[in-house]
Chains A and B, each alone.
Chain A
Amino acid sequence: MTEKVSLTELQLIIRDSLYLALPDYYWVIAEISELKENSAGHCYLELIEKSPEERNVKARVRAIIWSTRYRFLKAFFENGTGETLREGLKILVKTKVEYHELYGLSLIISDIDPAFTIGEMALKRQLVIKKLEQEGVFSMNKDLKIPILPQRIAVISSKNAAGYSDFVNHLNANNFGYVFYTALIESSLQGSETEQGVINALDRIALNSQLFDIVVIIRGGGSQSDLSWFDSYNIAYHVTQFPLPVITGIGHDKDISVTDLVANKSLKTPTAVADFLIESVSGLENEIIEMISDVIDASRIIIEKNRNRIETSAIKLLPLARLMLSHVKGQLSTKIIEINNRGKELIFAATITPANQKSRLSSCVKTFVSEKGTTLQRSNQRLLSGTLNLLETKNMRVKVLESTSLLLNPENVLQRGYSITSMNGRILKDNSQIKEGDTIDTQLYKGSLRSKVVERKRRDGEKENG
């Protein structure tokens, strides 16, 4: 046997041998299977390599990032990938093999390549997407129609997540006063429990899917990382198979997870999801309001049309009635004239007969009376004239005598218009004694005249010559 060594000595021999044998840095590809930060800020990891089927672990090693380096690498990795260093990630790290007599072998990580992880994640994501497409389920949830009134909402989130309270507050503070019913189904939304948590929550909702219109998966609010949990095939598959539309608001600006891709609708923040729901309801309300105004407009048109009909009738009614009335009046007055004329004729005809009779009667009477009267008168006349004749005859003699005596008195003669002409006191009875220029006197019944003779005439009136 060779010489004996203490354990410490052996460990130191191993350490030195390894140091000599492996003096360089190695870029190592591995998957993180465990990760812990201690209070001093050092990061302790377990790195593994799995078989291609991802069943068995083929290799395993401890690794350490010292705190001074870890502070830098952690930020560098997160900025590069959008992911925090965590179990399940494949990483490419620059390592140096160290051996410690107390703690054994470990890889000391001094650098990390985020691009490798990004590529790995993208590759893994692509594989998941491809698988979902090949199974023909990729767009199944997208094909569901969002209900016209998404008011009953199943929310998959965690009670203390800032994103959840943002969502509920925003939804209930809507300006329209719409009421939303939300039911929280709790699930862890980061870390390794994410996958199972979300799947369980979906299963619970599916049991009472008739109570809900829509499912939302809400996260966000702080953590911008750990999105890759939602690249999980299992979560994505459950979403595609879900009977209700699923809306995601898992809060990631840069990348879209596979769950986002297969969800009915994917929005960046919980607040955006709330806005979308509010807008859906207000859009519906606007449509209804438009329909109401359409109904009102259509009703007004009908009323207006009928109003016109009635007004036309109302306008026509009175003039028509008047027209008809005046027409009838015209007919009536023609009739009245006719009746009047014919009446007069009748009356005339009727009055003629009695008047005739009357006049005939009266004339008869008159004739009779006058005849009788005449006879009477004649009798009277005869009586009178007889008497008068008698008287006449008796008086005649007396009258003759009387008148003769009267006639013989010259005064009576003068009175009757005779005159006495004298010249030189001698009464003239013949003009022969008279010459022209003689003065003669004429005695009248009253007074006398003295005249000069101008001319002598014969008895026959011819002028007498000298």
Chain B
Amino acid sequence: MAKREFSFNDAVAEIENILHNIESGDLDIDKLSLEVKRASELIKQCQKKLRSTEEEINSIFKDLT
């Protein structure tokens, strides 16, 4: 099975959903650490994506400017 490509927007939506769940207290305590782990994982991926996108853009235009 092909690995689904990382989607920044989906990740952000998921993070915000997790935050909302924690905030509202709807979250099951059994899932708390799992969800926090998942959210921090997603945040890491998002930051990586941002950084790589920035670097990509910089490198794309490096020779041109």
Contacts and interface: CB of A to CB of B under 8 A. Distances in A.
A313 B22 contact: no
Contact of A310 (B12, B18, B57, B65): B12
B43 A314 contact: yes
Nearest to A327: B25
Interface residues of B, number: 26
Interface in B1-42: 8, 12, 15-16, 18-19, 22-23, 25, 27, 29, 32, 36, 39-40
A289 B36 contact: no
A299 interface: yes
Contacts of B25: 324, 327
Interface string A397-428: 00000000000000000000000000000000
A91 B43 CA distance: 91
Contacts of A325: 29, 32
A457 B18 CA distance: 116
Contact of A303 (B27, B32, B53, B61): B53
Contacts of A310: 12, 15, 43, 46-47, 50
A307 interface: yes
A319 to B, nearest CB: 10
Contact of B64 (A289, A300, A321): A289
B65 A289 contact: yes
Interface string A294-318: 0110011001001101100110111
A324 B47 CA distance: 25
A316 B19 contact: yes
A59 interface: no
Given A292-B61, A324-B29, 12 more contacts: A289-B64, A295-B61, A300-B54, A303-B50, A310-B50, A313-B12, A313-B39, A317-B40, A321-B36, A325-B29, A327-B25, A328-B29
Give me the 4 closest cross-chain CB pairs, A-B, nearest first: A320-B22, A321-B36, A310-B46, A313-B15
Interface of B: 8, 12, 15-16, 18-19, 22-23, 25, 27, 29, 32, 36, 39-40, 43, 46-47, 50, 53-54, 57-58, 61, 64-65
A29 B43 CA distance: 96
B57 A296 contact: yes
Contacts of B53: 299, 303
Contact of B36 (A303, A309, A317): A317
B47 A313 contact: no
A387 to B, nearest CB: 85
A292 B50 contact: no
Nearest to B49: A306
Given A314-B43, A320-B23, A324-B32, A306 B12 contact: yes
